[in-house]
Amino acid sequence: MKPDRITGTLCVGVSACRVQVPCATATCLSGSNSYIAPIMTARTLNSLGIAKAPKDTRVVVAMSGGVDSSVTAALMAEQGYDVVGITLQLYDHGAALAKKGACCAGLDIHDARNVADALGFPHYVLDYESRFRQEVIDDFADSYLRGETPIPCVRCNQTVKFRDLLATARELQADVLCTGHYVRRVEGENGAELHRAIDPQKDQSYFLFATTREQLDFLRFPLGGMEKEETREHARRFGLAIADKPDSQDICFVPNGRYAELVEKLRPGAAEPGEIVHLDGTVLGRHKGIIHYTIGQRKGLGIGGRRDEDGNPDTDALYVVRLDPAASKVVVGPREALGRETVYVDQLNWLGDALPGEAGIPIEVKLRSATRPASARIYTDSEGRGRILLDTPQHGIARGQAAVFYTPGDSTRVLGGGWITGTEESAAAA
């Protein structure tokens, strides 16, 4: 799939061309057919695992304008690879474009282009706004309407970045696509494996669980073996102006963090009010739309607590335990009511050596990006669905989130993951 639009300067003259394609297979992007790639005689693998000299290895780098992707590009250029930088224009939110902490915005495109200019490799901006709106933003809004808690960053990686951008990289005759994600690609006995990053505070494996085996063959993650401060030291060493640029914190298309406002704008009428109901059926108050609530939420319910049989305040905190979009109800209860021991997932992406099947295998599973992995056992069926049986009930599990699987013990390997479609209560909560 070709990009909607490409902007940027290709090159001036054959001598300046750094985006050359061997004439035997394609035409040089400069319009000249005068370049012929040298024939490799040695089978020694370069640092990216390719049997070519670095100068003959084309590396497309996904550049967001932040320090991580910029250092990735700089490291590849320093090693002598034929680097091409690509930045995705994903949205246009006017004033939000200049907000610190938002990625893929106008300022970030400017920063990415400056890095490419400073290091001397070509840089392109691809207009992906239409497909980003369809694949990520619309899905985000619809997910909230279904009472789910979406993760748009995973959808973005799954579609726009690791499907569409990867296809574009192949069209540019790239040998690999590099990103600045903190995750590791390891060559195993049965092919490429996905592993956690060395830095546990920066590990992004949860957001990359949907990466397929085919994509892993083409992808490289040079920062996966680094601590974040080491990355910034490299940026300073290269003299990059973005060396101390803050990390992005918000969802790029919701830079103010007010998700419900965006959903209501995209889906007028989405904020339909309704009842806040206790598990015992007691109506405690009114809500202003289920899009404002998520499973496990405690603050901001506005119900002022309950009273016991004697009329005294009940000090036990209440949490959102269920969302009922059909009836427009927010169901609340005590924390123990959040406990779940069985989780169901769909759209399973398995990266292990063999599917667990009906026998199941032990795993560790992350059910939210910010939670620690929990011990469990996973069972799969022939339809690409999984059933996770947790050793200990977990709290705050929401539909629309991801369940990401890891090899238990000291291993760092990612076994895959899937989208949470439902849960069953633990015996203690039932």
Sheet containing 219-220: order of strands: 6-7, 123-127, 82-89, 58-62, 176-178, 219-220
| Annotated catalytic residue, options 17, 28, 104, 156 | 156
| Annotated catalytic residue, options 103, 104, 153, 252 | 252
Say whether 104 is catalytic.
no
Distance CA 85, CA 37 (A): 21
Contact 208, 194 (CB under 8 A): yes
From 207, 154, 205, 148, select the one nearest 423 (Cα to Cα).
Answer: 148
Say whether 23 is catalytic.
no
Phi-psi region of 267 (alpha: psi -120 to 50; beta: other; left: phi over 0): beta
Query: Which positions are annotated as active-site residues?
Result: 156, 252
